[in-house]
Amino acid sequence: MDNRPIGVFDSGLGGLTAVKELLEIMPQEHIVYFGDTGRVPYGSRSQETILKYAAQDIHFLTENRVKMIVVACGTVSSLARNLKKPQGVPFIDVLHPTALAASAATRNKRVGVIGTSATIRSGSYRRALAEIDSEIQVYDRECPLFVPLVENGFVADDDEVTRLVAERYLGELRDAGVDTLIMGCTHYPIISRIIGATMGKEVTLIDSGRETAFCCSKVLEERGLLCDRPAKGDCSFYVSDRVDDFSRIAGIFLGRDIGQEVHQIDINRY
């Protein structure tokens, strides 16, 4: 057993979808979350810049003595093979658990993938799905506006702006006849009702945050690293920009006030 925290990082708020799932599956675990709100979004950056930012994020978490690192960022996950991973710390990204879930869910072997520009350009989901099942046809689409819409609170189920953007992005995938859609950015489940309504009820949505949380739980159990405290775990949240903005929206996503638990750091020190 290991009572050290789980470390989770993302470019901003999206990784909170993974945190929410982790708390539901393993409520006794401690979690340290870093959202790089001062440099969001990662998806429009160059590969070199993304890898630099990710290395700093990982360094910050290792300084907090985490027992596992969860990359709750689709963009960084798509480049995970190029990351320098810390020794002795299990490392999970959202890519492979999500691809496995999609391959199991599809009935007609037509899978859609939506993500940031960097994620889609990397071809990471195409490769991962091809390795699992070469018969799966992949239809992908860059959806760069979804992240800033989520980060700025345009998340209501009836939000007209987000609905129109979703229709613009997702129409081609719907017309291609995909029966499974990977939400390849952890921001996207926050607007999953809008995405689902646009795609139609016959399309299965794959939540990368949820699948990653399940994978995290399995790995911790297999390695004997689960927390053995009977009490509810603690969460600490860190950001690289304004605390107030993050606290307000994050509180909505997690269903509770987190104002006193959020701290701003200078990520460039790491």
The yes-or-no answer on residue 143 being catalytic is: no
**Per the residue annotation, which of 143, 185, 215, 235 is the catalytic one?**
185
Using the 8-state DSSP alphabet, how is residue 224 labeled?
T
Q: For residue 185, indicate whether it is catalytic.
A: yes
> CA 154, 155, 159 angle in degrees (round to 5)?
70
- The active-site residue, picked from 73, 143, 216, 227, is 73
In angstroms, rounded to a whole number, what is the distance separating the alpha carbons of residues 206 and 113? 9
Burial of 179 (0-12, 13-18, 19+ CB in 10 A): middle
For the residues of 148-196, what is the DSSP string, one character each?
Answer: HHHHTT---TT-HHHHHHHHHHHHHHHHTT-SEEEE-STTGGGGHHHHH
Contact call for residues 238 and 265 (beta carbons, < 8 A):
yes
Catalytic residue numbers read 73, 185
